[in-house]
Chain A
Amino acid sequence: MELDTITAISTPMGEGAIAIVRISGDEAITIADRIYKGKKPLKEVESHTINYGYIFDPETEKKIEEVMVSVLLAPRTFTRENMVEVNCHGGIVSVNRILQLILKQGARLAEPGEFTKRAFLNGRIDLSQAEAVMDLIKAKTDRAMNIAMSQVEGKLSKRIQRLRQALLETVAHVEVNIDYPEYDAEEMTLGILKEKATFVKNDIKKLLQTAQQGKILRDGLSTVIIGRPNVGKSSLLNNLVHDNKAIVTDIPGTTRDVIEEYVNVRGVPLRLLDTAGIRETEDIVEKIGVERSRKVVEEAELVLLVLNYNEELSNADEELFKISEGRDRIVIINKTDLPENIDMVKVKYLAGEDPIVTTSLLLDEGVNELEEAIKTLFFEGELEASDLTYVSNSRHIALLNQAYDSVSDALQAIEAGMPVDMVQIDITKTWEILGEVIGDSVHESLIDQLFSQFCLGK
C-alpha cells in the first residue's frame, strides 16, 4: 500500500565499516521502539538526536547488535515523514537481521527509489527532479515484471498457489455458511478449520526454511573448502577472503568452536565454515582430515573440493568426492603452475556434472573463473546478482513471516474458542498475504470460488 511505513538498507551491501537501515512513515518510531533498548524509548527522545543502545529480538529477547539510532521527526526529514536510521556494524548478517526484525514488526520493504518518491510526494523535491523519480518508478516496474515472471515459473510460486487454493476453498466454505446459512453445505467447524490452518502453518514454515535463495542471501551460503593437505586450501581461503573483504564474526552457538568468515563473491554471500580447521589442519594426518571434512560437509550447501594438479589422484581424493556427492560442488584443480600429473579424464568422470576450474593460486590465475562459477551456480546465469534479487527475496521472507504470524493468530483464536467467522478473518488475511508473494491478490476470486464450489440459489 502507498504511504505505509517503509524500510530498507541504505548503504551498499557488504562494504564499509557501518551500515544504515532506514525506516520512514507514521509508524517508524513505534516500530523501531519494539526492537530497540536504550536509555530512553525512541518516542521520548528529542528529534534529530542520535542515541546509543542495542537491537534485540522481541521474540527471544536476545540482544542482536549494538547500534546508534537517529530519530528524525516529520517534517524536517528527507521524506518529510517520521524517520529512524539505525547505524550498525557493516556486516551482511547483522544488517540483514535488523532489517528482518523491522520487517517483522510491520514495515514494508521499500521499492527502489521509494524514499525519493516519498520525498517528492511530500513536497520535499522540486519539479526538475520529478522526471527522474518517474523514470525510477518506471524502471522498477520493468524489472519487477521480469522478476515476477521468473517467480511465476518457480517452484515457490507453485507451492504458494497450491497453498492459496487450499485456503481459498476453506474460506469459501466458511463464507457459504455465512451468506447461505440455510444451504445444506456441511457446517465448517473449528475442528476442520484447525486442521487446515495447521497444515498451512506447517507448509509456510517449510517454505520459510527452504526459501533457498532467500535464506542464502540472508545468512550466506554455507561453504566448505575440502582437500588433502597441501593442495592449497589455505591459499584459496586467503584469496577469497583477501579479494572480498571478509568480515570475521564469531556467533556463539551456531557451530561449536568453529570460526566462520563471510565473503561476498559477486553477489553471493558465502559463509565459510571451519576456517580455523582449514588453517590449522593443513598438516594433520589424512585420515583425520577426511573425517573432519565429512562432518563439515554435512552442514555445507556448497563444497569447494580442491585437488592437486601436480599429483596423482589418491584414495583420499576419491573419498572426498564420495562424501561430497549430491551437494552443490565445484572441483578446483590447483597448482597449474606445476607439471600435470593428475588424471583429468578420471577427475571429469568423478565430477560428473559439477563445474571444474583450474587455478594457480600462487600466480593468482583462475580465481575469476572460480568466482564466476560460484555466481553461475547460484543464479544459474539468469539473474543479475544485484540488489533486486536480494530485495525480492527479502520481501518474500517478510511476507511469508507475516503469513505465518497470521495463520498462527487464526490457530490461537481457534484455541480460544472464537467464532468461525472471526477465525476466518485471519485465514483470509493469510491468503491475501500469500497472494502478495506471487503478486496476485484479487478479491473477486473468492466470490468465483464460492459459486463454483457450491450450488447456491433462491
Chain B
Amino acid sequence: MSYYGGDFDVIVIGAGHAGVEAGLASARMGANTLMLTLNLDAVAYMPCNPSVGGPAKGIVVREIDALGGEMAKNIDKTHIQMRMLNTGKGPAVRALRAQADKYLYQHEMKKTIEETGNLLLRQGMVEKLIIEEDEVKGVITQTGAEYRAKAVVVTTGTYLRGKVIIGDLAYESGPNNQQPSINLSYHLQELGFEMVRFKTGTPPRVNSQSIDYSKTEIQPGDNVPRAFSYETTKYITDQLPCWLTYTGEKTHEIINNNLHRSPMYSGVIEGTGPRYCPSIEDKIVRFSDKPRHQIFLEPEGRNTQEVYVQGLSTSLPEDVQRSILETVPGLENVRMMRPGYAIEYDAIVPTQLWPSLETKKIKGLFTAGQINGTSGYEEAAGQGLMAGINAALKIQEKDPLILNRSQAYIGVLIDDLVTKGTNEPYRLLTSRAEYRLLLRHDNADLRLTEIGHNIGLIKEDRYNKYLEKKEQIHEEIERLKNAMIKVTKEGNQLLKSVGSTPLKEAIYAIGLLKRPEITYDIIAQLAPPDDTLDSDVAEQVEIQVKYEGYISKQMDQVEKLKKMENKKIPEDIDYNAINGLATEARQKLSQVRPLSMAQASRVSGVNPSDISILLVYLEQGKLKRVASTNE
C-alpha cells in the first residue's frame, strides 16, 4: 500500500558523491529538497580507494569548490595526507591529491547535510518514478511512500542491479555488501532508457599491524600546508604516510596458475571494465613482460587498522587472494580483512542526456555519477553538482548552466559523455581536455567563482575576495610591464645565483619574469611591489606572465571555436529531412541531438562535410521562416 509522503521541489535518489552534491546545491539554491538513500550510514561512502583528487580529478574538486560545492571543504577537514602531484612539470598539470579518512569523510558530510536548510535526508529505496506525460512528478519507495516533486535527480552509483563477484561466487549486491537496487533499473528500462552493463573492482583490505613496513618505501605527504577549498583556513598538520611495495615473480606465478578460476577469463563477468583500472590478473595477462607491478599501501583512516592495497584489484577466489598477498614484500604475514571483488552494475547510455544532464526522454529527470557511465568520486561529484544546480534552475524556470570545454574539466567530462557516450567506465584524464593550459588547478576560482556567485552558491564575502584577487593580479601585471630593472651588481649576483644570465642593460620586469628560471620571488626582490602580494596572487602573476604565449595560443583556439558554439541547433530538428547527410551522421545526430554546431562536430561519425550540409540546412530554414512571415 502506498501513502502520500510529501511535496518537494527536488528529489535526489542516492547520497553518494554525486547525490550529496546534487542535494546540497539544490537546497542551497532555495529548492525544497529530499535526499533518499538506501542506508543512512553509507552517505558519501568510499567503497574503493580512500583518496580524493589526482591529475584532472583534483582540478575537478577545485572547480566544485569554485562553484560552491562541498567535496573540497569536506576532504580538507578529513584527510590524513595531502600531496601536490606533478610539481616538476608545468602549472597546467599540477594537481592535489588527498588520502581520506573515509569514516570521518562520511560523518562530516552527513553532518553538513543534516545541518543544511531546505534539505531532508531520509532512508528509503526508490522503486519507481511517477511520470505524467513524459514529465517526472515524483517517486515511490519500497515502503510505499509517494513523494511528489518537480525534478528528480537519479544518482544510483553502482547499486543498479549490482552483482558482486569473487571467484566463482556471485551474488546480487551493492558495493561492499550493501543492498542493491533492482527494481529501479527495470523500471528505467520500461521507461525506454537504453542501459549498459559495466564492471569495476576493488582490492582486498589488510590489517596494518600485520604489515612489515621495513620492507616497503615510505610515501609521506607534503610538508607545506595544502587545501582544496579556497575557503579553507585551518590545515591538518599531522599526516599519515602511505607505503610502496611491489608484486614479484612469485605473485605472477600464482595468478597465472589460477587464471582458470578468474571470473574475468571464465566468462562469469559480462560487464565492460575500464582499461585504466585493470585487475591484477588483467595486468599480468596483458603486460606479461613487466616483471613487477607497484602496490601502494594506503591507510583507510585514523581510527582503523584497515589498509587499502592499491594495485591489487582482483576478483580471483578468496584463497588465491590470500596467497597473492603473501608474495608481496612486507605482506608475508599479512592478515586479510576483506577480500577484493568485482562488481557489475547497470548504467544508462549517457547520450540520452542533454548537456544539462536532464534526460531527453523525460522532462525534469536528471541523472548523475556512475549511472551515467563514469567512474571515480570526483567525476560523480562534478556531475552531481551540475545536476543539482540544473534541477534547481529548472524550478526557478531559468536556463540550465552548461560549462563548456574551455571553462572546466567538468565541462569536458559532461560534453564527452553526452556527445560521444562511453563504452567503458569513463575516467577523466588531462589528455581529454584540449585546453588544459586554461583548465589549471590554480585558476579554478578565476574561471568559475563568477558563475558560482550568479547562481547563488557563492556568498558575497567570498565573491568580494575573488574580485579583489582578480584586481590585484591585474594591477601587478600592469606594474611589471612598466617596472624597469636596472643593471646592478647585487641584482646580477642574484641572477647568477639562480643560474640566470646577468643583465647587460635595463629590462622590464615582465621580460625578466618570462625567463624559465626566474620566479616571481626574484622579481619581487629586484623590483619590489608597494605591498607584498599574497602567495596565490604571486603565483597567478607568475603563471600568467611566464606562459602567456601558450595561454594566448589556446585562447585563440577557443575564440575560433566560439562561432561554432554560438550557432545553435534547435532541439526538435529532423535529421531525416536533411538531404545529403551521410547515413551514419544522420543516425548519430538523431541520437545525440547536439545543441550547437560545435557539439555536432564532436559527435563521432560526423564528418566535416556533414557539418557543412547541416550549416547550410539551418540557414535555409531561417530563410524559409523569414519568407513565411513576410507572406
Contacts and interface: CB of A to CB of B under 8 A. Distances in A.
Interface of A: 1-4, 117, 120-121, 123, 126-127, 130, 133-134, 137-138, 140-141, 144, 175, 177-184, 416-422, 425, 443-444, 446-447, 450-451, 455-458
A444 B434 CA distance: 12
A121 B431 contact: no
Contacts of B48: 458
Contacts of B553: 425
A425 B313 contact: no
20 contacts: A2-B564, A2-B597, A3-B563, A120-B619, A123-B619, A127-B623, A127-B627, A130-B619, A137-B612, A175-B429, A178-B431, A179-B429, A180-B55, A182-B85, A182-B294, A447-B432, A451-B275, A455-B290, A457-B278, A457-B311
A121 B580 contact: no
B465 interface: no
Contact of B550 (A2, A175, A425): A425
A54 to B, nearest CB: 29
Interface stretch (B27-35, B89-97, B470-478, B587-595): B89-97
B437 A425 contact: yes
Given A130-B623, A457-B280, 8 more contacts: A137-B612, A140-B609, A178-B89, A421-B92, A422-B92, A425-B437, A443-B432, A455-B278
Contact of A457 (B89, B276, B434): B276
Contacts of A130: 616, 619-620, 623
B560 interface: yes
Contacts of A117: 612, 616
Interface string B590-617: 0000000100010010011101110110
B550 A422 contact: yes
Contacts of B294: 182-184
A456 B276 contact: yes
B547 A1 contact: no
A178 B597 contact: no
A419 B89 contact: yes
A175 B431 contact: yes
B286 interface: yes
Nearest to A454: B287
Given A144-B609, A458-B48, A121 B86 contact: no
A309 to B, nearest CB: 53
B516 A421 contact: no
Interface string B269-305: 0000001111110110011001001101000000000
A137 B613 contact: yes
Most chain A beta-carbon neighbours within 10 Å: one of B48, B279, B282, B429: B429
B580 A138 contact: yes
Contact of A422 (B275, B286, B547): B547
Contacts, number: 135
B55 A178 contact: yes
A126 B613 CA distance: 16
A447 B426 CA distance: 11
Nearest to B499: A417
A271 to B, nearest CB: 35
A182 B310 CA distance: 12
A421 B275 contact: no
B561 A422 contact: no
A455 B627 CA distance: 60
A458 B311 contact: yes
A138 B579 CA distance: 10
Given A421-B89, A421-B90, A1 B616 contact: no
A2 B170 CA distance: 52
B516 A137 contact: no
A127 B620 CA distance: 7
A450 B516 contact: no
Nearest to A135: B580
Given A134-B580, A137-B616, A457 B313 contact: yes
Contacts of B429: 175, 179, 447, 450
B359 interface: no
Given A130-B616, A179-B430, A422-B90, A458 B310 contact: yes
A350 B496 CA distance: 72
Interface in B363-416: none
Closest 6 CB pairs of A and B: A419-B90, A455-B287, A451-B275, A141-B609, A417-B516, A178-B93
B49 interface: yes
Contact of B561 (A1, A133, A446): A1
B421 to A, nearest CB: 12
Nearest to B278: A457
Nearest to A184: B294
B361 interface: no
A370 B56 CA distance: 64
Contact of B580 (A137, A184, A456): A137
Given A117-B612, A455-B287, A1 B276 contact: no
Contacts of B608: 2
Contacts of B624: 127
A178 B620 contact: no
A143 B550 CA distance: 37
A158 to B, nearest CB: 23
A29 B249 CA distance: 66
Contacts of A425: 437, 550, 553-554
A447 B431 contact: yes
A123 B563 CA distance: 16
B240 to A, nearest CB: 17
